[in-house]
């Protein structure tokens, strides 16, 4: 089968690999029907993910059809259309039982697929702990509608959930890339008083303005002024940092009002500095880290009811054989790209 492979820092290659087989009782083999490229894949390519294993197939954002299952898999059967969770988790350890599945202690726990074990930018994929890692797609939901459920949409849903958003809140979202837009959609589900999105890229800012007119979109140079105009308490009640730059990290704590919640979703290429002496008295609550991706069933219900739609994010579609071109366009932000779909 064809598989896009991490050959080493700076190099991905499309290679022929053996089709995966069941290895454990809780495994499933999934035939990939649609995949995507994530910014995290670029972090692997450029050596920013030290735990990524050279030789693995990359890709962790996909949907497919179950081809076979191990003897203890009960949640899906061959023939089911499924989403694949970015997180691998056993469901029984301390962290899983508390919903902290990103920190599952099993050997393949956390972000394994497309990082430490073979991923989904390929024709087939082995999914460990399939009872937890696969969710059946409702018949009324298309592959394109479900494509982002297991990763960036789960991330946005988790970020909105942990941010304690209330009806009177002014919410600031820093970054309108794919994960930022998914976060925006999930924030809007929670009905805050107002939402401001900060995005320096003109094309991405226009994308949000055109599709979500209830949202105020500004660049970094005007974000503090805009937040103050809309706040009664000297800053945003909730800030979600989804951009992952030094400037956006700084804006996150600067634009937050005292006693605000600051949720850091972004993955950074280098350490960031938090000036505690300067912000000590603001009494901010920081929430950071990787998604606890255990909300996929609820997300699929919202999609089925027409309350969440991420299909406008898919601006380009390529066959797997042209994945090099797809990566070039996605990484270079060419042709107004937001997200790329890959068809095996």
Q: How far is CA 99 from CA 68, 96, 141, 263, in A?
A: 27, 5, 26, 18
Which tokens go with 101? 């599945």
Q: Kindly give, in sequence order, each residue whose CB lies less than 8 Å from that of residue 306, ignoring residues fewer than 6 positions away.
A: none
Number of Cβ within 10 Å of residue 305's Cβ equals: 10
Q: Any idea which fold 2-151+292-343 has? A: Quinone Oxidoreductase; Chain A, domain 1 (3.90.180)
Which CATH class for the 156-288 domain? alpha beta
Which of 314, 293, 295, 303 has the alpha carbon at shortest distance from 138? Answer: 303
The strand pairing partners of 62, in sequence order, are 35
Same fold, 2-151+292-343 and 156-288: no
pLDDT in tens, 188-238: 999 999 999 999 999 999 999 999 999 999 999 999 999 999 998 999 999
Rg (CA), the chain: 20
Calculated CA dihedral for residues 130, 73, 302, 305, nearest 10 degrees: 140
User: Rounded CA gap, 110 and 38, in Å?
Assistant: 17
Which tokens go with 3? 């598989």
pLDDT in tens, 232-291: 899 999 999 999 999 999 999 999 999 999 999 998 878 999 999 999 999 999 999 888
Question: Does the pLDDT at position 48 exceed 90?
Answer: no
Q: What is the domain partition of the chain in residue ranges?
A: 2-151+292-343, 156-288
pLDDT in tens, 127-170: 999 999 999 999 999 999 999 999 999 999 999 999 999 999 99
Angle at 243 between CA 239 and CA 248, to 5 degrees: 65
């Amino acid at each position: 089968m064809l598989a896009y492979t991490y050959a080493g820092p700076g190099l991905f290659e499309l290679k022929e690999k053996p089709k995966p087989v069941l290895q454990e009782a809780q495994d499933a083999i999934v035939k990939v029907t649609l995949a995507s490229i994530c910014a995290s894949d670029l972090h692997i390519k450029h050596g920013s993910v030290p735990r990524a294993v050279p030789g693995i197939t990359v890709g962790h954002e996909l949907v497919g059809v179950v081809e076979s299952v191990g003897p203890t898999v009960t949640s899906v059967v061959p023939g089911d259309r499924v989403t694949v969770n970015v997180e691998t988790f056993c469901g029984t350890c301390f962290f899983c039982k508390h919903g902290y599945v990103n920190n599952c202690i099993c050997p393949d726990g956390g972000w394994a697929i497309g990082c430490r074990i073979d991923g989904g930018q390929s024709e087939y994929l082995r999914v460990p702990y399939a009872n937890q890692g696969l969710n059946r797609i409702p018949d009324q939901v298309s592959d394109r509608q479900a494509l982002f459920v297991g990763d960036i949409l789960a991330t946005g849903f988790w970020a909105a959930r942990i941010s304690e958003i209330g009806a009177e809140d002014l919410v600031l979202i820093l970054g309108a890339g794919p994960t930022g837009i998914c976060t925006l959609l999930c924030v809007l589900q929670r009905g805050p008083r107002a939402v401001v999105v900060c995005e320096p890229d003109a094309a991405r800012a226009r994308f949000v303005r055109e599709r979500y007119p209830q949202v105020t979109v500004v660049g970094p140079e005007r974000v503090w002024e805009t937040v103050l105009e809309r706040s009664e308490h000297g800053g945003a009640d909730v800030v979600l940092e989804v951009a992952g730059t030094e400037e956006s990290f700084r804006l996150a704590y600067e634009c937050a009002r005292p006693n605000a919640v600051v949720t850091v979703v972004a993955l950074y290429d280098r350490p960031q500095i938090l000036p505690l002496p300067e912000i000590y008295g603001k009494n901010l609550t920081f929430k950071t880290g990787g998604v606890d991706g255990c909300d996929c069933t609820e997300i699929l219900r919202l999609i089925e009811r027409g309350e969440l739609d991420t299909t406008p994010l898919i601006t380009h579609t390529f066959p797997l054989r042209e994945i090099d071109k797809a990566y070039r366009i996605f990484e270079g932000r060419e042709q107004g790209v937001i997200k790329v779909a890959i068809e095996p």
